[in-house]
Structure 1
Amino acid sequence: MYASVILFDLDGTLTDPKLGITRCIQFAISELGHSPPDADKLDWCIGPPIKDSFSQLLNTSEETVLAQAISLYRHRFATIGLFENSLYPQIVETLEAIRLAGYQTFVATSKPHIYATRIIDHFRLSSFFNYVYGSELDGTRSVKSDLINYILLAENLEPTNVVMVGDRSHDMIGAKHNGVTAIGVTYGYGTEEELITYGADLIARTPDEIARLLI
């Protein structure tokens, strides 16, 4: 496999954000007057755009309700939730090896880039990435296919030179939609079956396997 550029998903790939995301979802749902699900029943919300998750959780497509839920979620996430997060083991060593091998690396997350940048800074990972790409607060580029397309254009990249690394189906779908090689990781929140079904070319079961597949 020839590649010179690696795009990394954030949630479920570089960091384990479960505590922060689930607590912020529970907070928003409670503030709206509903009984929130247990945290362990919210794993499927980690990765996809938060608007889609609230639409399913609240069983509504009403824009006003969804906007209110997202606002409540972000109220807690911006000050508390984004730091209720932890790096997966071996991530630093994996990124060091990939950078040492000469790859360009970018973060490609559905999370708003203003939060993603703070998280990358918090974990002192900034030096490992050329740039952090994410969505806008209004939802622009929250769909991974749109985000990857935007990165390819912004960085003038050839899809055949690019690999997307992520843990959920939408990472694989986004990669395939743009002609990009996809590595699915199973230590995050997607299963191997999910990743292969949606187009993973390769599977990594631990972070250091990502480096072994690439180098």
Structure 2
Amino acid sequence: MDTLKQNIILFDLDGTLTDSMEGVIRSVQYMQEKMGMRVWEFEELRFIVGPPLIESFTKELAMELPKAEKAVEVFRERYTTVGLFENKVFPGIMELLEELKKKGKRMAVATSKKEDQAVRILEHFGIAPYLEVIGGDAREIGRDTKAKVIEYVLETMGAAKDDVIMVGDRKFDIIGAHALGLPCIAVEWGYGDRAEFEAHDADIIASTTEDVAKLF
């Protein structure tokens, strides 16, 4: 396979760079308890990691929008103080970023997590220095979908679309990238699986960080 020519690589955060599952799920359980709901078991809530919370709360937990908005506020009571750092960098990620940096690649993050939280996490784990831009959810100004986050990152970087590729672990990354005409590498070490990637026409499926490094 020929090496990919894109010079700009956008990474998702949760499930791609860091394993944030514990902090997210524990904080959802906290929300359920505080709001008098049945507290779901950890395994029942694995689906919640990755998509925008408001979407998961309205669609998967069947909340009306006002209740879902309140639920997000309660979730953040715990997540912003405790859950944020119940998190770890996936094995091989730092080596991947270092190798891509040596190859002259420009890197950024495009995540559905609130932008200020993403910045705190990426700074905490020493990933931020590799990134030109950290773009995240800012629904207060209308940046409330993955595609809008990616578009914001591209605009901030002054990037031409034909020089950009997305790397993520869920269908939302593929859908968001494709909405802007960008290819997407779907990675199997996160929270999605090959069936999901194939169903949403991922351009490339990579099993390991080493596999991603070899693509460039």
**TM-score bin, normalised by smaller chain:** over 0.9
Q: CA deviation at 1:73?
A: 0.4
Query: What is the distance in 1 between the residues matched to 2:141 and 2:87?
Result: 22
Of 109, 119, 128, the residue aligned with 2:130 is: 128
Q: Which residue of 1 aligns with 2:173?
A: 171
Q: CA deviation at 1:163?
A: 0.6
2:9 is the counterpart of 1:6: yes
Q: CA deviation at 1:57?
A: 4.2
Of 93, 96, 99, the residue aligned with 1:97 is: 99
Query: What is the distance in 2 between the residues matched to 1:25 and 1:137?
Result: 20
Q: Which residue of 2 aligns with 1:38?
A: 41
Counterpart AA for 1:48: P
Question: Does structure 2 conserve the Cα–Cα contact (< 8 Å) formed by 1:111 and 1:142?
Answer: no
SS in 2 for 1:115: helix
Of 43, 48, 51, the residue aligned with 2:51 is: 48
Q: CA deviation at 1:195?
A: 1.1
Deviation per residue, 1:103-158 (Å, 9 max, x gap): 10001100011000000011011111112111126483231111112222222211
Query: What is the distance in 2 between the residues matched to 1:23 and 1:210?
Result: 31
Query: What is the distance in 2 between the residues matched to 1:212 and 1:38?
Result: 38
Q: Which residue of 1 aligns with 2:86?
A: 84
Question: Does structure 1 conserve the Cα–Cα contact (< 8 Å) formed by 2:185 and 2:205?
Answer: yes
Q: Where in structure 1 are there 5+ consecutive unaligned residues?
A: none
Q: Which residue of 2 aligns with 1:158?
A: 160
Q: Percent identity?
A: 37
Superposition RMSD in Å: 1.3
Question: Does structure 2 conserve the Cα–Cα contact (< 8 Å) formed by 1:160 and 1:181?
Answer: no
Question: Does structure 2 conserve the Cα–Cα contact (< 8 Å) formed by 1:110 and 1:141?
Answer: no
Query: What is the distance in 2 between the residues matched to 1:140 and 1:12?
Result: 24
Deviation per residue, 1:90-110 (Å, 9 max, x gap): 000000000110010001100
Counterpart AA for 1:182: C
Q: Which residue of 1 aligns with 2:20?
A: 17
Question: Does structure 1 conserve the Cα–Cα contact (< 8 Å) formed by 2:58 and 2:65?
Answer: no
SS in 1 for 2:73: helix
- CA pair 208-141 structure 1, distance change in 2 beyond 3 A: farther
How many aligned positions are there? 213
Query: What is the distance in 2 between the residues matched to 1:117 and 1:208?
Result: 25
TM-score, normalised by the number of residues in structure 1: 0.95
Q: Which residue of 1 aligns with 2:199?
A: 197
Q: Where in structure 2 are there 5+ consecutive unaligned residues?
A: none
